[in-house]
Amino acid sequence: MELAELTELKTAIEGAPVEPGPIAPGLIGYNTNAGYVCSRCAGRIMARGCSHLFKTAIPHWADRSQLGGVCALCNRQPINH
């Protein structure tokens, strides 16, 4: 886990809207260098205008067997939004 990227994500979510922007159906979250980020937290950060933080992230979809783990920002288990 990269601490600098995790700090940047935590800073971005602090000023993010409470409700996420549109979330693609079946998107569970993203695997980033800072760890797994659920689609709800990612959507909030993107709604703030910080989508560049997910430029190199790998998306996790509900129809795939891969699970991301616990969200590094909200500590939730992966769920399909």
pTM for the complete prediction? Answer: 0.86
Q: What is the pLDDT of residue 71?
A: 93
Whether residue 12 lies inside any domain: the answer is yes
Whether residue 22 lies inside any domain: the answer is yes
Whether residue 68 lies inside any domain: the answer is no
Whether residue 32 lies inside any domain: the answer is yes
Q: What is the pLDDT of residues 15-44, one digit of tens each?
A: 899 998 888 998 999 999 999 999 999 999
The 3 state secondary structure assigned to the chain is CCHHHHHHHHHHHHCCCCCCCCCCCCEEEEEECCEEEEHHHHHHHHHCCCHHHHCCCEEEECCCCCCCCCCCCCCCCCCCC
pLDDT greater at residue 38 or residue 77: 38
Whether residue 10 lies inside any domain: the answer is yes
- Domain range enclosing 41: 3-61
Whether residue 76 lies inside any domain: the answer is no
Number of separate domains in the chain: 1
Mean of per-residue pLDDT scores for the chain: 87
Q: What is the pLDDT of residue 69?
A: 77
